[in-house]
Amino acid sequence: MSPIEHVWDALDRRIQQQLRTAIEEECLSRGLLLPARSRLYPDEMKDLHLDMVITPVSSSGSVCTGLGYDNLTTVTVTQEKEGLSSIQIFALCIYLTIFVVGSIGNGLVIFVTGCKMKTTVNSIWFLNLAIADFFFSFAPVMRFVLVFGKPLGYFLSKLLSFMTELNMFASIFFLTAISLDRCLCTWMIVWARNERTLIKAKIICMIVWVLSIGCSIPFVINFCTKYLDLQSLFTYRFIVGFLIPFLIITSSYVAIGVRVKHIKKGSHLRSYRLIISLVLAFFVCWFPYHIHKLCFISLNAVENKQNVNVREVISQTTPFVVCLAFLNSCLNPILYVFMCDEFKKKLKQSLLLVLETALAEDHLDFLNHKDDKKETKTSLTSC
């Protein structure tokens, strides 16, 4: 390219960047959040490679926080006339699968633990954990609306972000409470028999929900914030919502392993195997997400050419780590079904009862229909 063409190309990119920034600032000032496939961008920018949906020109720009929103800031979107890319189609299929499996699976867990099983301390833990996962399974639907739907109002965007963060914190906090409870039951058997009551378990669950609300408030207050503030906010979420609880959970199960290392069989090992599986599933699903976010924000805090390629690679992996994080909401009910004998027994009884009722009603309808035919035939014969 000639020097004149270089100058013209740089000027053209600068004009497009300023135009895009002006559109985004106008939408933010009106309390609107631009979806990824928004048509508010001019036609000349449809083929422009956008690193972010709402992206600052420098580190002083504004972006939206929250699990359903910070993901949008990291997704690489190419506005192409052909339509969705293969990665976007794959992510959409995974989102819909997670929503269906998570809502149905956690709904069954809520039904069985809340209505069919005897109320115990463990059933209270798992009931509240299933409630958190049930609402969190709607996060993929929220993400679908944000990326491919119409601009959302500012209040609704804040509410959806708050609900997602709330259930994320509640899930990890309930896993932490379950781990501590099992550790106390292993090391302090006499205390657990006398002090481990249903009322105290319900009070602890209320405290966990209140604590989850408190941890989610900063994401509502700093909903649209600066990149520098966003870096500290993501660090706060990693420490409070992952690192500290995971250290507590790991320590609890190390203590449990030391205590019950001589036990080879029995219900205790089955119970521990279930809870350890839940913890491992949480770690595998959430650890890549938090590391991904911290790396992306750290790279955006420093503007240089070397970070461009690395940031591009991180952006391309965003759909996969986000799907992995959402996957945790539908893994827990699957683990319940395959590893908890009592849950499988109660679930089979409930499904069989529904099936028997339906078959009984169909059988009665068939008999009534058969009797009506006999009466009609008798009346015709008498005539």
Q: Provide the residue range defining the domain that includes 63.
A: 3-78
Tell which wins on pLDDT, 356 or 49: 356
**Integer Cα distance of 55 and 21 in angstroms:** 8
pLDDT band at 198 (very low <50, low <70, confident <90, very high): very high
Tell which wins on pLDDT, 11 or 50: 11
Q: At which residue do the structure tokens 């009609």 appear?
A: 376
- Poorest-confidence range of 94-98, 127-131, 196-200, 276-280? 276-280
In a domain, 383, yes or no: no
Query: What pLDDT was estimated at residue 354?
Result: 60
**Integer Cα distance of 168 and 132 in angstroms:** 7
Residue that is last in its domain, among 78, 107, 141: 78
Helix (H, G, I), strand (E, B) or coil at 80: coil
pLDDT band at 150 (very low <50, low <70, confident <90, very high): low
Which amino acid is it at 116? Answer: K
Helix (H, G, I), strand (E, B) or coil at 135: helix
Query: What pLDDT was estimated at residue 234?
Result: 84
Question: What single DSSP character describes residue 225?
Answer: E
Name the helix (H) or strand (E) containing 336.
helix 318-339
Q: Are 10 and 48 in contact (CB under 8 A)?
A: no
Residue 151: closest CA among 296, 38, 46? 38
Residue 64: what are its φ and ψ, rounded to 5°?
Answer: -100, 140
Tell which wins on pLDDT, 269 or 266: 269
pLDDT band at 80 (very low <50, low <70, confident <90, very high): very low
Query: What pLDDT was estimated at residue 208?
Result: 96
Query: What pLDDT was estimated at residue 361?
Result: 47
Query: What pLDDT was estimated at residue 313?
Result: 74
In a domain, 355, yes or no: no
Q: Are 137 and 328 in contact (CB under 8 A)?
A: no
Query: What pLDDT was estimated at residue 47?
Result: 36
Instruction: Output the CA–CA distances (angstroms, integers) from residue 34 to 2, 10, 72, 228, 378, in the order listed.
Output: 37, 26, 10, 22, 72
Would you say residue 36 has pLDDT above 70?
Answer: no
Percent of the chain residues past pLDDT 90, beyond the cut: 10
Residue that is last in its domain, among 57, 78, 99: 78
> Within this chain, do residues 135 and 256 fall inside the same structural domain, yes or no?
yes
Q: At which residue do the structure tokens 């938090």 appear?
A: 290
| CATH number, position 110 | 1.20.1070.10
> Within this chain, do residues 31 and 94 fall inside the same structural domain, yes or no?
no
Residue that is last in its domain, among 315, 339, 363: 339
Mean residue pLDDT of the chain comes to 71
H helical segments located in 222-243: 227-238
> Within this chain, do residues 269 and 126 fall inside the same structural domain, yes or no?
yes
> Within this chain, do residues 170 and 264 fall inside the same structural domain, yes or no?
yes
